[in-house]
Amino acid sequence: MYFLVIMAFAFVLSDELPPEKLNLFKTATGQFASGTPLFGSLAFVAAQLGLVALGAVVSRRMTVARLTGPGPDYDRAMNTFSVWQRVLLVVIAVGMAATMIFTPWARVVRQGWGLGGLPLIDDFIIIAPFITSLLIIWIIQFPAESRIRSAFAAFDQEDEADPPPSSQVAASAALAAAKRRVANPTGSLFNHIADKLRHQFLIIAVPMTFIVLAKHFMDIYRQDITNALRIPWAADSLLGCVSICVLAFAPVMLRYIWATEPLPDGPLRDKLVRICDRIGLRYREILLWHTHGMAVNAAVMGFVGPMRYILVSDALLETMADEEIEAVFGHEAGHVRHHHLQFFLVFVILTMYISGGVLEFLIRNRLVTDPGNMQIIALGVLLISWLFGFGWISRQFERQADLFGVRCVTPDIRTCVDRCPIHGPEAAPGICTAAAGLFGRTLSRIADLNGIPRDAPSWRHGTIQSRCELLEKMASDGGKVGRFEFRIRAVKIGLLAATILGTVIAERLYHDQFAEAIRRLLAD
């Protein structure tokens, strides 16, 4: 979902779409308010919304049928729902790309309806079909999703393997001490939609909105900035700096977009604070994240300690044992300790170099001249890099955070097996067998409670099943831990080396322009 939101705003930031040769609804210059451009664009939008609605209805009926028919099958229902979710996301992505690339939809809004001078208004109307598609899915699928969660909740309560209530004392005390009281949203479509918007759309949309607003003013003063610095791409560079600042302050925004409060003082907070002290984790606050009981999850936000927040959800505290909460917390701490957010920022810079390099090569060799085609190529390179590159790197980092989570709970393991590399009679490289088992069970329970099949693929996280299997292999083969850590180090070194190389190449290409700008500034 996050990838689609990024994709939507990437299209908004593109001013030259559609390319002239790909526009299916050409007309006289500036005539976008009526006729073929308007109705052709609206037809594409309507087709996208219609396909999404049809798919959502089919998904709901198939899922509910597997839960209410003779011999209800929870696993098949969950798999059906998961598969259809992925299908619908593909439909949205294809529909959005087709509308922006093959129709003058953006120009209809900005020029035909005269909204181009209104900051953000035109941008949100342009992505309105995308937002509407999400709302259609969430509304139509609400009964199916609610049934899946209710079915597993009932099953989970009857499971004899569940932890006894005594193992949830600290979490229960934290929830009881919370100042905020949020009613469970069972049967509440409004709360369901509000939470979906907060957790799946606004988390990306709010920071991107500030970037879009900054671009609006950069475009207004682009010529003045260019004349002052004598660098054609000075405004774009300044926009990049603004974007980095927005991302740095994004955690503060998201704290208030999501319903959060400081985790109340008590045994659970004391335990989590001790973990942070033990591993040297700096943070601004540990937050209790209110999700109406719908998200069994934790998260970490922020590049630096003074603006870093660690969140644990209400549903996590309601359903998981204290040691399982500690394992999830350790996973999130692993992202911080291994500097994953910083390496994601390095990846962002690298993809900008790659996209800009490809475009520069094509322009210098006169292989591309149409501005629309230039933006399509730049967007294509960026989206492919994110879809495959970011996804793969993120999945590797998730596994490294899993490994850190296992190590984080290892000191608190009370009983283990004789063959454990850590607690066994002979010390050996590897990870604690009991801690790996605890973490694997925690991952599996989180997947079940969130209605996610354990073998369901995830762009950023990978399948729960593959992550559990990796931990099992590490617990039985200590050498695999070393090989995995070597691979992660190689990935990080490769990212840094490629970004440094890109910086050097950019400096060589634009050295004269930089030097002239500096001389001009000093002379003034």
Query: 3-class SS at 299?
Result: strand
What per-residue confidence (pLDDT) applies to 401?
95
Cα Rg, the chain, nearest whole Å:
25
Please state, rounded to an integer, the average pLDDT across all residues of the chain.
Answer: 84
- For residue 365 the two structure tokens come to 């060799």
Task: Give the residue, 175 or 132, on which the prediction is more confident.
Answer: 132
* Among 454, 412, 443, 418, residue whose Cα is nearest residue 433: 418
Whether the predicted pLDDT of 308 surpasses 70: yes
pLDDT single digits (tens) 388-445: 999 999 999 999 999 999 998 888 787 888 778 887 777 667 888 888 999 999 999 8
Helix (H) or strand (E) holding 362: helix 340-364
Q: Is residue 109 within 8 Å of 126, Cβ to Cβ?
A: yes
Q: Which of the residue ranges 25-29, 40-44, 401-405, 503-507 would you say has the lowest mean pLDDT?
A: 25-29
pLDDT single digits (tens) 283-299: 889 999 888 777 788 88
* Among 320, 330, 309, 331, residue whose Cα is nearest residue 258: 309
Q: Is residue 522 within 8 Å of 373, Cβ to Cβ?
A: no
What per-residue confidence (pLDDT) applies to 355?
87
Whether the predicted pLDDT of 338 surpasses 90: yes
Angle (deg, nearest 10), helices 391-409 and 464-476: 50
Average pLDDT over residues 334-344: 91
Residues 6+ apart with CB under 8 A from 476: 433
Query: 3-class SS at 287?
Result: strand
Cis peptide before 18 (omega within 30 of 0): yes
Query: Alpha helix (H) ranges present in 103-127?
Result: 105-107, 121-126
Angle (deg, nearest 10), helices 433-449 and 391-409: 120
User: Edge-to-edge strand order for the sheet containing 259-262?
Assistant: 259-262, 285-290, 309-313, 298-301
CA angle 478, 485, 476 (to 5 degrees): 20
CA distance 211 to 248: 12
Q: Which of the residue ranges 74-83, 448-457, 512-521 would you say has the lowest mean pLDDT?
A: 512-521
CA distance 451 to 151: 10
- For residue 265 the two structure tokens come to 């003082």
CA distance 79 to 81: 5
CA distance 250 to 255: 9
Provide the terminal-to-terminal Cα distance of the chain, rounded to the nearest Å.
48
Q: Is residue 324 within 8 Å of 446, Cβ to Cβ?
A: no
Whether the predicted pLDDT of 30 surpasses 90: no
What per-residue confidence (pLDDT) applies to 250?
86
pLDDT single digits (tens) 133-189: 999 999 999 988 888 777 665 555 555 455 544 466 788 888 888 877 655 545 588
Task: Give the residue, 20 or 4, on which the prediction is more confident.
Answer: 4
Query: 3-class SS at 409?
Result: helix
Residues 6+ apart with CB under 8 A from 351: 381, 382, 385, 386, 389, 390
- Residue by residue, what is the 3-state secondary structure of 165-207? HHHHHHHHHHHHHCCCCCCCCCCCHHHHHHHHHHHHHHHHHHH
Task: Give the residue, 60 or 77, on which the prediction is more confident.
Answer: 60
What per-residue confidence (pLDDT) applies to 429?
74
Query: 3-class SS at 301?
Result: strand
Q: What are phi and psi of 285, to 5 degrees?
A: -160, 150
AA identity, residue 153: A
AA identity, residue 143: P
Q: What percent of the chain has pLDDT over 70?
A: 90
343 falls in which pLDDT band (50, 70, 90)? very high
Whether the predicted pLDDT of 23 surpasses 80: yes
What per-residue confidence (pLDDT) applies to 69?
67
pLDDT single digits (tens) 459-515: 888 899 999 999 999 988 888 999 999 999 999 999 999 999 998 988 887 767 667
pLDDT single digits (tens) 258-268: 888 999 999 88
AA identity, residue 498: A
What per-residue confidence (pLDDT) applies to 175?
83
AA identity, residue 496: L
